[in-house]
Structure 1
Amino acid sequence: MDLDLAQVRAFLAVAERLHFGRAAEQLSLSQQALSKRVARLEAELGAALFLRGGHAVELTEAGHRFLEPARRALAAGDRAVAAARDLACPLRLDAWGHLFGPMRTLRPVLARLPELTVEVGAGRDLPGVADALVRSVADVGFGRVYRQDSDDAVSRDLTHRLVRLEPVDLVVGPGHPLADRSEVRTAELRDAGVLWSPAAVERLEFYVRLVERFGVTTESSPANLGLEHYLEQVAADPRRYAVIPADLELPGRLPVRPIPLVDPTPLYAWSLLWRSSDTHPGIETLLRTFADVAAQRRWLEYRPGQDWLPAADAEDVALG
């Protein structure tokens, strides 16, 4: 059979929302027209793709099997159209971890790729960006990638590569007991007061690993309103301190100062994440350019014994 990509697009819209009405709105179709496209696709495939019961919609086993190949087929079709029209298909990149300024790292890399059209979007977190990649809504993600026993976000046809290991600093206000120090041993954080978290600690995997390894005490801000607000809260209470990437530019008007953490120095791992089956040529170009910039700026320098990484990150470094 010849696969009709309009029917595939209709199937994917329903599969991603499990709701015919919302899928029809997305595609600017009537619900009746959408249903007809899906029904014709099912008829040609000779298999039901959805279980329809009342207001509930679920994928059948055939629908689950069809889902990933359908995403790849539609993405390939879109790129074929772009190629025929001599259009540069943009590389869609979603970044997360905005409190820590991911654009600082992306900017010098993208500056070397003026010929590559990149659409940069904001992802909320790793699971959200992973979902966008799986659904072919994005081509590449950039942020901190981690693995948990209960989270298969990086195992669903996704690949990641470490591209930067950034030292983190202690940041304190003028009233903090360590404010006059030139450096602080990371083990001292246990008795340094309270690590002030910009959100619930369990949502910030790097902080979770820091707590586990160094036994620090944490408290959370009721709302994450950005870096300036976060550091205002740190400066306002002499018990609080922050742990943030060392190259992050701090707001000049705030009475806070960064202090290097040593013996060991914690490193924050930044990674690229992409779908293994995505054939966009810009992905390989981006990976090569990251490697060049990382080598020149020593972004991947890791000194065992002097630096600290969560175990999964250390494994990634060992794997190269």
Structure 2
Amino acid sequence: MDLDLDLAQVRAFVTTAETLHFGHAAARLGISQQALSKRVARLESLLGVRLFDREPGTRLTAAGERFEPAAREALAAGERAVSAALGVRRAVRLDVWGHLYAPMRTVAQAAAAFTAEAGGTVALEPGPGRDWESVAEALLAGTVDAGFGRVHALPGGRDQGLAQRLVRLEPVDAVVSAEHPLAGAAEVRPTDLRDSTLWCPAELPRLDFLRRFADEFGITRREDGPNLGTDHLTRHLRADPTRFTLVPADAPLPDPTGLRSLPLTAPTPLYAWSLTWRTTPHPHPLLPALLHAFTTTAHTHHWLTYHPTTDWLPPPDRPKLTPTL
């Protein structure tokens, strides 16, 4: 068990595990595919196990799946060691998800306050996360420092070891085709949408907020499809006057032509945005400043306004209000 891991080989493995394609992984690392393959092969030889099955297609073996989380932690530890030795303060890596709901609008406002607290230096590196589950895995592996999006309990306790803080409650509108029967209304109630079809831009089991909204207000007609971006979403809405989806009230649509945004009232659904981070080991030293920046920005912009008699929050989101208000 007394093995000396080469972090270049470990990085080659992790990048290949992310892409499941040797050519794409090599391009991301800026090396040849032959060099990448040699690094992975040497790592497999050192460990005495195969980490990938190459045919048909590239996929992790059982040993590779066991090795991946620890490999990510090893890379993160290496980065921390280099930063400590050089006296360099590494920027906070923030993975953001929920891209159709434009989370960067919120991150950008808090980032300005965070940069000021960090002494005016570039201290935040936002990056795209696929979804909450994948960001939770990255946080636990130590490859990112914090996450921003809508957080909910993951099956099997896969989010244990992570903390969260609610930073914004955002009203959502119903977006419909201009030909939808309700398109001319000044506002609608969620129950008015019971005869419409909820269009979900991903598999519905992964969209906790939309699923809970549909269950709460009796929306029985539901369709889902791949998340191919906002343009794809709006094309589906224009094509079928029975469909609707939910979008934050001030999130801009790329092309609103032929669409209507209908404010929802009685009650108004609120989308909960949260910061999340790993509590141990080695949280980023700038994490307290990041939390403070988001919290102060939230209070400045009244992001946490909630009226129980007129607003609706999914039940799992309601306890998050207590420590925040």
User: What code does the residue aligned with 2:133 have?
Assistant: P
Which moved further from structure 2: 236-245 or 113-122?
113-122
1:97 equivalent in alignment to 2:106: no
In 1, Cα distance between equivalents of 2:309 and 2:242 = 29
Describe the shift of the 1:4–1:74 C-alpha distance in structure 2 as closer, same or farther (beyond 3 A): farther
Q: CA deviation at 1:90?
A: 2.1
**Partners of 1:10 and 1:37 within 8 A in 2:** no
Residue segments in structure 2 that go unaligned for 5+ positions in a row = 30-34, 55-59
Deviation at 1:162, TM superposition (A): 1.0
Residues 223/279 of structure 1: CA separation in 2 closer, same or farther (3 Å cut): closer
Instruction: Tell whether 2:158 aligns with 1:153.
Output: yes
Q: Using structure 1 for the length normalisation, give the TM-score.
A: 0.79
CA distance in 1, matches of 2:209, 2:270: 10
- How many Å separate the matches in 2 of 1:219 and 1:267? 20
1:282 deviates by 2.2
Count of paired positions: 301
Q: Is the 8 A contact 1:91 1:283 kept in 2?
A: yes
CA distance in 2, matches of 1:158, 1:89: 21
Distance 2:249 2:150 in 1: 16
Distance 1:88 1:177, change over 3 A: same
Is the Cα–Cα contact under 8 Å of residues 190 and 215 in structure 1 kept in the other structure? yes
Q: In structure 1, what is the equivalent of residue 57 of structure 2?
A: none
**Pair 252,318 (structure 1): closer, same or farther in 2 beyond 3 Å:** same
Q: Identity, % of aligned pairs?
A: 41
In the alignment, what sits opposite 1:43?
none
Instruction: Kindly provide the CA deviation profile for residues 209-246 of structure 1, in whole angstroms up to 9, marking residues without a partner as x.
Output: 01111111333254322112212221222211121111
Aligned amino acid, residue 34 of structure 1 = L
Query: Which aligned pairs between 1:141-220 and structure 2 lie closer than 5 A?
Result: 141-148=147-154, 150-155=155-160, 157-191=161-195, 193-220=196-223
Q: Is this contact kept in 2: 1:263–1:306, CA < 8 A?
A: yes
Deviations 1:46-92 (A, max 9, x none): xxxx899x999667xxxx8x998997676455323213323331211
> In the aligned structure 2, how far is the partner of 1:176 from the partner of 1:246?
19
Change (3 A) 1:36 1:296: same
SS in 2 for 1:281: coil
**CA pair 151-206 structure 1, distance change in 2 beyond 3 A:** farther
Partner Cα separation in structure 2 for residue 58 and residue 132 of structure 1: 19
Match of 1:308 among 290, 302, 312: 312
Output aligned runs, 1:15-26, within 5 Å. Answer: none
Question: Cα gap change, 1:57/1:80 in structure 2, threshold over 3 Å: closer, same or farther?
Answer: same
Q: Which residue of 1 aligns with 2:245?
A: 242
- 1:238-277, aligned counterparts within 5 Å? 238-276=241-279, 277=281
Q: Distance in 2 between the 1:287 and 1:255 partners? A: 40
Shift of 1:319: 4.0
C-alpha separation between the residues in 2 aligned to 1:189 and 1:238? Answer: 12
Confirm or deny: 8 A CA contact 1:172 1:240 kept in the other structure: yes
Q: 1:174 and 1:190, CA in 2 relative to 1: closer, same or farther beyond 3 A?
A: same
- Which one of 43, 59, 74 corresponds to residue 34 of structure 1? 43
Structure 1 residue runs of 5 or longer lacking an equivalent are 40-49
Change (3 A) 1:38 1:307: same
Distance 2:44 2:181 in 1: 66
1:178 shift after superposition: 1.2
Say whether 1:283 aligns with 2:284: no
More moved, 286-295 vs 272-281: 272-281
* Greater displacement, 215-224 / 107-116: 215-224
Distance in 2 (CA, whole Å) between partners of 1:153 and 1:186 is 32
Aligned AA for 2:309? G
| Contact 2:97–2:129 (Cα < 8 Å) also in 1 | yes
Distance across 1 between alignment mates of 2:13 and 2:254? 43
